[in-house]
Structure 1
Amino acid sequence: MNFFYTINGKTVKQFLLIIIIAFFAAWFFYIGNNIYVPVFSTKDGPKAVYKGEKNIALTFNIGWGDEKAEPILDVLKKEKIKSATFFLSGSWAERHPEIVNRIVKEGYEIGMLGYAYKDYPELEEAEIRKDLYKAVDVFKKLNIKEIKLVRAPTGHFDKKTLKVTDELRFTLVHWSIDSKDWTNPGIKQIVKNISKAEKGDIILLHASDSAKQTVSALPSILKTLNNKGLKLVTVSEMIANAETKSKEIK
């Protein structure tokens, strides 16, 4: 006896449609619950984060000077900005404990620029480690004990830097948008440099005295980011519970 099963074309189409919808629903659910953070890395080794998937992070480097940091804090307070990350050199923090205390008191995140403003690729591993330990000691004396983020002082880093920061259990943070504010190109140009920012970008700004136009540019920067619907978060919030994609450093 032969049995024949028949399925009409309409039923097949409906079945395929259900499968396709289920696939895309699963895919969007997966994407929505996994943040991918692009990184620089050694092959199968330590990584440096430079970009996130969601939101946006404002970061300010401070290596020297005592005139620009507080006016920038004033603007952030006036604009009701609660999330920003300040990367401070230990030598600067040591000389300006009252400003460091204000940064902490106003709820901003602190990362380290090492102690002295040195170019890490020019140093041996032991010297990089010594510079970071010295910075850690300074921040401990300022009652800041849980710093997890480090940025290479000059922005330059190599495999040695990645290795040392990883051994010391720091996350090395770079950036994806450079405001170039330290070159003082003009307020409009600084804003223009940042206007290309999209979700996931980590923006580099400076609160050192050499960046003379950042304070004046900051209100327009914040307005631009707000108009693009970008939510400001700290670097730690951006990379929390994130998976990573790697870009190898040769």
Structure 2
Amino acid sequence: MNFFFVLNGKSIKQALVIVIAAFFTAWFFYAENIVQFPAFSTEDGPKAIYKGEKDIALTFNIGWGDEKAEPILEILKKENVTAATFFLSGAWAERHPDLVSRIVKDGYEIGILGYDYKDYTEIEEDKVRKDILKAQEAFKKLNIKDIELLRAPTGHFDKRTLNIAERAGYTVVHWSLDSKDWTNPGVNEIVENVSKAKKGDIVLLHASDSAKQTAEALPAVLDEIRSKNLKMVSVSQLIANGESNSSEIN
């Protein structure tokens, strides 16, 4: 036996309204339960953290030079900044053990910035692995243990990088806010860039000699962050404050 149902235009509209309302209600409750902690990831694989749920993490890359790191450390100390993360290249750390020791003594977190300044997306997988392991060995010789964070030296990474880093015991850390201090755009522009910071941001700064204006801009940068009532924490502390929500990367 066949049955035919006849619906007029008004009934169809009412049904669509009900379906749409149900969809948005379901999405609302789903979104409410998502922890806002974005990450790049491979499908069902390791993640690269680039943003947290609350607070803010200042990160400083150092790849070369010995003139800018110490003034930045002095400013952080003077401004009573007790938490920050320094991503150091293994080659730089070997050449400047006293500065590495100062960073540790001042209570700041250390992450690995590879060994040499290489784009991990443009070299063979084995060379990526060797560069990370070479950096790992450099820090071991300096008695810097239990490093868990890694940043791709040029900021470029792919699935291979994430997988290699995970096997070596590291979490890849990117950033959500670039101060662009590495372009030396002027102190005011660096401060303006960081003034856009929001809770959960990981801020990219540099303490290499190539970033000539960072130290001068840093006091005003810190003032901007404090004016937003954002607590400055290390990347590890930021990660500990939430679970990850990932989006796939090629």
| Category of TM-score, reference length = shorter chain | 0.7 to 0.9
Query: What are the superposed Cα offsets for residues 192-250 of structure 1, whole Å, 9 maximum, x if unpaired?
Result: 01101000000000000000000000000000000100000000000016311111113
Aligned letter for 1:195? S
Contact 1:35 1:52 in 2 (8 A): no
**Structure 1 Cα separation of the partners of residues 128 and 242 of structure 2:** 27
What SS is found at the alignment partner of 1:243?
coil
What SS is found at the alignment partner of 1:75?
helix
2:172 corresponds to: 172
1:146 corresponds to: 146
**Structure 2 Cα separation of the partners of residues 49 and 70 of structure 1:** 27
What SS is found at the alignment partner of 2:246?
strand
**Structure 2 Cα separation of the partners of residues 135 and 35 of structure 1:** 33
2:183 corresponds to: 183
2:204 corresponds to: 204
Measure how far apart 1:112 and its partner are: 0.3
**Structure 1 Cα separation of the partners of residues 145 and 213 of structure 2:** 32
Measure how far apart 1:46 and its partner are: 1.2
Change (3 A) 1:185 1:241: closer
What SS is found at the alignment partner of 2:215?
helix
**Structure 2 Cα separation of the partners of residues 151 and 38 of structure 1:** 16
Moved over 3 A (4+): none
TM-score, length basis structure 2: 0.86
Please give the residue correspondences for 1:4-19 in structure 2 after superposition, counting only pairs within 5 Å: none
1:235 corresponds to: 235
Query: What are the superposed Cα offsets for residues 152-175 of structure 1, whole Å, 9 maximum, x if unpaired?
Result: 000000111111011112000000
Query: What are the superposed Cα offsets for residues 36-79 of structure 1, whole Å, 9 maximum, x if unpaired?
Result: 32000111111100000010000000000110000000000000
Query: What are the superposed Cα offsets for residues 96-116 of structure 1, whole Å, 9 maximum, x if unpaired?
Result: 000000000000000000111
Please give the residue correspondences for 1:1-250 in structure 2 after superposition, counting only pairs within 5 Å: 35-240=35-240, 242-250=242-250
**Structure 2 Cα separation of the partners of residues 135 and 46 of structure 1:** 20
Unaligned residue ranges in structure 2 (runs of 5+): 1-28
* Identical-pair percentage: 66
**Structure 1 Cα separation of the partners of residues 152 and 116 of structure 2:** 11
Unaligned residue ranges in structure 1 (runs of 5+): 1-26
**Structure 1 Cα separation of the partners of residues 146 and 234 of structure 2:** 15
TM-score, length basis structure 1: 0.86
Aligned letter for 2:160? K
**Structure 1 Cα separation of the partners of residues 129 and 84 of structure 2:** 26
What SS is found at the alignment partner of 1:87?
strand
Q: Which stretch shows the higher mean deviation, 35-44 or 155-164?
A: 35-44
Aligned letter for 2:222? L
